Amino acid sequence: MEWKEQYKRWSSYSGLEAEMSEALLQLADKEEELEDCFYKHLEFGTGGMRGELGPGPNRLNRYTVRRAAEGLARFLTAKGAVAKERGVVIAYDSRYQSKEFAMEAALTLGRHRIRTWLFAELRPTPELSFAVRYLEAEAGIMITASHNPPQYNGFKIYGPDGGQLPPGPAEALVRYVDAVENELEIAVADELDLKKERLLHMIGADVDTAYLGQVKSLLVQPGLVKEWGGQLRMVFTPLHGAANLPVQRTFAESGFSALTVVAEQELPDPEFPTVVSPNPEEEEAFALAMEYGKKEQAELLLATDPDGDRMGVAVRDVNGDYICLSGNQIGALLLDYLLSEKKRQQCLPTNGTVIKTIVTSEFGRAIAESYHMTTLDTLTGFKFIAEKIKEFEQTGEHTFLFGYEESYGYLIGDFARDKDAVQACLLTAELAAYYKAKQMSLYEGLYALYEKHGYFEEGLTSVTLKGKAGLKKMAELLNAFRHSPPDILAGKRVTTIEDYQAASALNTVTGETVILDYPRSNVLKYKLEDDSWFCVRPSGTEPKIKFYFGVKGTSEDDSRQRLKTLQDEVLERVEGFDGRVDE
């Protein structure tokens, strides 16, 4: 349909909820905005869907949530009676309408006689992943938009292993969702009836206890924590999100008693009023935590995003000022600590394997190699890391040691199959206690790793391209890089071009092409003769195209200069395309 026909279909629907009708009235004279609400269905991709709240098929609302849940219901029904009986676990975070959307999904599934377990209160994404495994469910739903602005929400799907669906099953599910013709006419069951028929169960404290028990079991040196945990001064902010209670409870029960929580950001609030963006990747999100840190003389600041899967860290530098570590730096520190302690305790497996994404620093690979461990790369997205863990279990060829990505996601224990900020907070606190016992700071520990392995430096630049026109520009930009690739950058020859859409890697020196064993994805990666690299990929959750950069220098100044030169030359090629560049 043309967007005006879709708009007419919605505005004339007699059963439209009053809130949607009022929203449509407010948009009546804003044609450009109306078109964006109605020109397509909100894309349900391989990881689910995410979008702005509002009326229309291209916004997140109860009708588009029902459409997604209806597609999942048909997908599970096709798998048979056992899948329906195993059912679906549903969790939600602190965003606008998250609780309501979670119930809408449960009622839609219930109409198909699919058993559903629903958390009674907000819980972090990794606990949802754990609960799918713990309850032996067939699928999971997480209502969240992660660290997006307040006007967003989302609907993420998980498989029976607790990971987001891999490409094959995900594509099958997408076909079922796309086949749902009229989101306005989807019928739902009655909540009370479902509870009476034991098709809808509210999850109690038993899952919390089981999950947090597993998290606490990850402590590498419980004796160290017992001795130093009470002396390590820390500040934590959940940024108004779902990780508040799990992190506080885990710390208290593990022996980290000197924890101060940022009061202004402790309670759930969908508006996230104290930050520009509830994203622990951004230094601004630590502003209040830094104020608290100075007052409490804290050595470690921790922040988690609204759904509790990402963790950011700030530490004191040599001048005593707080600085934020990058996701790559945090990952390197955690990885080295895990491997060094496993080696000391003589429990490092000979087939131990670290999993990272193709846009994550090579720092981790260098650390793993120093312990004679293997590193495997996956496409961007933690579902691919979860898929590898499942493969390891099936083949026994590798033993999972640690999984991480540059965007502040880490997994230590595989009882969850998505990045887990609760786990990461606990291990980072133990890491800080470890360095404290050595009379070192985390900052000093990081630079000791640089001295040992080389000065790795990474960068990320995003170009924002919104709306229908933005999608077209994004395609043109990727097309330009794909068909007119650079030969020389920063004075170095481009030696390898990896095209993940074509599943091929071209060696520009020999002319040889090899097949890449990855799912096809619209991503390009260029490797230079000095081991520098950059990668181009569209965001899967935001209207952005992202440019990732990585270099290795002989010193901090050398690596920063190499990075700046590479970034500048790549971004020169982007000029001429409309869009905002976010450094």
The single residue of 98, 146, 254, 441 carrying the catalytic annotation is: 146
Calpha distance 381→391 (Å, rounded): 16
Ramachandran area for residue 56 (φ above 0: left; ψ -120 to 50: alpha; else beta): left
Type and span of the H or E element at 131: helix 125-134
In the residue annotation, 484 being an active-site residue is answered as: no
**Interacting residues of 20 by C-beta distance below 8 A, sequence separation 6+:** 10, 55, 61, 63
The residues, any chain, with a CB within 8 Å of residue 206's CB and separated by 6 or more, are none
Between CA 44 and CA 67 the distance in angstroms is 10
Structure-block tokens of residue 63: 């009708």
Integer Cα distance of 290 and 293 in angstroms = 5
3-state secondary structure 359-394: CCCCHHHHHHHHCCCEEEEECCCHHHHHHHHHHHHH
| 455's tokens | 């000065």
Give the closest residue to 191 by CA, choosing from 102, 123, 88.
Answer: 102
Taking every pair of Cα atoms in the chain, the longest distance, rounded to a whole number of angstroms, is 70
Strands across the sheet containing 409-411: 374-378, 352-357, 399-405, 409-411
374 - beta bridge partners? 353
- d(CA 293, CA 301) in angstroms, rounded, equals 7
Residue with tokens 């498989």: 159
Question: At residue 236, what are phi and psi to the nearest 5 degrees?
Answer: -130, 140
How deeply is 560 buried, as exposed, middle or buried, from its count of CB atoms within 10 A (0-12, 13-18, 19+)? middle
What DSSP state is assigned to residue 251? H
State whether the Cα torsion 102-104-109-110 is positive or negative.
Answer: positive
Is residue 92 within 8 A of residue 98, CB to CB? The reply is yes
Question: Residue 488: beta bridge partners?
Answer: 493
Residues annotated catalytic, as ranges: 146
